[in-house]
Structures are given as C-alpha cells and as structure tokens.
C-alpha cells in the first residue's frame, strides 16, 4: 500500500476489518473514522477523516483544497461532520489526560494547508507537541498554532461566512503561499522564545509542559484542600446548630412544680 494513499484505503475499508486493527483504528461512526497518527507529533495525536462510501466522488475528498473548490455547501457539511464526531474523540483524550497525568490541557483541531498524504483528514492533537516523532523544523512549524500552516477548524469554518470572493481566495490553499511557512525560525508557540535548534526546542517544550502540569496539579490540590476545609467548617457549623437547638428545647421545657 503506497504511503501517500494509505488514508484513502482506510477510508474505503468496511468496519470491522483485519486491515484496521485496534492499533490503527481508534473510533468510527457511519460517516467518519479516527485513527492513531502513525508518527504522532504530540502525546495525543489522531486523524479523523470522512469515510468513502460507494456513492461518494472520491476525487473531491482528496484534500481540503479539492473539497472546498468542489461544492461550498457540501464542503461545509463535511467539515461540520468532522467537528461533530471529533467531540467524542476530544472527550476520550481529556479523560486519558486526567487518568495519566492528573490534568487536561489544550487540544487543537485543524488541517494542514498543504497535506503530505492523500485524502481529507483533520488533525486532533494535544498542544504539548512533545514526541520523539517531532524531529525537524518542518514537523514543528506544521503544527505551530500561530505560524499559519496549521489551519484551525474554527478558522476554516469562518471562511464559509465570507462572500464568494473571500471564500474563493481562501480555498486556493496554494503550496507557494503556505510551504515557505514551514521554514520559519524556531520559536516556542507559548512564550515566543527563539530556539537555536530542534533539541533545544524540544527540551523547552517539555519544560513548558512540565510547568503547566505542576501548576495544574498544584491548583487541583489547593482546591481539594479548600473544599475539605469548607466541609469541616460546614460540619462544625451544623454541630453548633444542633447544640443550639438542643439547648433551646431544654429552655422551653417547663420546670416541674415543687
């Protein structure tokens, strides 16, 4: 199976299928399937794509550009379906984040302006960008949330709200416009600090995530302590009220005549 066309083959596959084992397939619906990214660029990285049913025009789903230039209404419908089915994937990721690390952090949904593989797919990726598979400038800049090559889902959906001229312009997605963005200098997406090479960038990103985790876990601990203190105070107040009521009952009890 050619590497570039593997997603298209997955999209055509009936489920269940031996060609889509649990190590590849994460989830599916009647219209979409979600797979683990084979070379994840973050702790959590999935691809969600429309399934190719017999009645569908395969060529129109080649990538985001071909979809947008085909039929505006159908394109919006397809992207909204990806958004809807991605909600459960995001919920599953967040649950796993909390289970493994005790907190949850940002998850990005979006498309590469010029994808490296055939068949429309949307990335669902955690914002840490900490992964052994993130190995070079192109990898990093293709997911940098502010560099422009990674098109956030909300951003793409906004294109449909513009007039025809604006929509046509945005849907061009020309390689000559977007590919130079992959050569931008390495900068941390969180603090904008410049990084001299990939090893220093990766170490910096790991420390940024470590700080985020320490802060989140600390806040969670403090909240539990405050809730425990509040509960203790409530219990004490409740006991005081019970004591007062007992005393009031005693005070209201008539004294027997001597």
- Which positions are annotated as active-site residues? 121
Q: What angle do CA 252, 256, 258 make, to 5 degrees?
A: 145
The number of C-alpha atoms within 13 Å of 116 and in the hemisphere containing its C-beta is: 12
If one counts every other C-beta atom within 10 angstroms of the C-beta of residue 41, the result is 21
Query: What is the biggest distance separating any 2 CA atoms in the chain, rounded to whole angstroms?
Result: 107
Strands annotated E in 16-117:
25-28, 32-36, 45-50, 107-112
What are phi and psi for residue 207, nearest 5 degrees? -70, -35
Which letter, b or e, does each residue of 155-186 get, where b requires 16 or more Cβ atoms within 10 Å of its Cβ? ebeebbeeeeeebeebbebeeeebeebbeeeb
Cα(48)–Cα(89) distance, integer angstroms: 9
CB 119 within 8 A of CB 7: yes
Q: How far is CA 244 from the centre of its chain?
A: 54
The phi and psi torsions of 193 (rounded to 5 degrees) equal -70, 135
């Amino acid at each position: 199976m050619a590497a570039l066309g593997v997603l298209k083959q997955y999209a055509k596959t009936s489920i269940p299928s031996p060609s889509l084992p649990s190590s590849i397939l994460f989830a599916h619906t009647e219209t979409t399937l979600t797979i683990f990214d084979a070379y994840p660029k973050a702790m959590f990285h999935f691809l969600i794509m429309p399934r190719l049913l017999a009645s569908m025009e395969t060529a129109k789903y080649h990538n985001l550009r071909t979809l947008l230039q085909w039929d505006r209404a159908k394109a919006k419908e397809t992207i909204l379906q990806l958004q809807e089915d991605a909600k459960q994937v995001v919920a599953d990721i967040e649950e796993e984040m909390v289970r493994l690390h005790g907190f949850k952090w940002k998850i990005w949904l979006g498309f590469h302006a010029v994808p490296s593989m055939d068949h429309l797919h949307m990335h669902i990726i955690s914002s840490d960008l900490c992964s052994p598979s993130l190995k070079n400038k192109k990898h990093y800049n293709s997911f940098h949330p502010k560099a422009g090559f990674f098109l956030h889902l909300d951003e793409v959906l906004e294109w449909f709200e513009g007039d025809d001229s604006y929509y046509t312009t945005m849907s061009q997605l020309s390689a000559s416009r977007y590919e130079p963005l992959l050569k931008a200098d390495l900068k941390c997406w969180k603090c904008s600090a410049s990084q001299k090479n990939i090893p220093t960038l990766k170490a910096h990103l790991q420390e940024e995530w470590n700080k985020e985790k320490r802060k989140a876990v600390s806040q969670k601990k403090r909240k539990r302590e405050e809730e425990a203190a509040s509960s203790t105070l409530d219990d004490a107040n409740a006991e005081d009220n019970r004591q007062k009521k007992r005393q009031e009952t005693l005070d209201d009890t008539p004294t027997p005549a001597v």
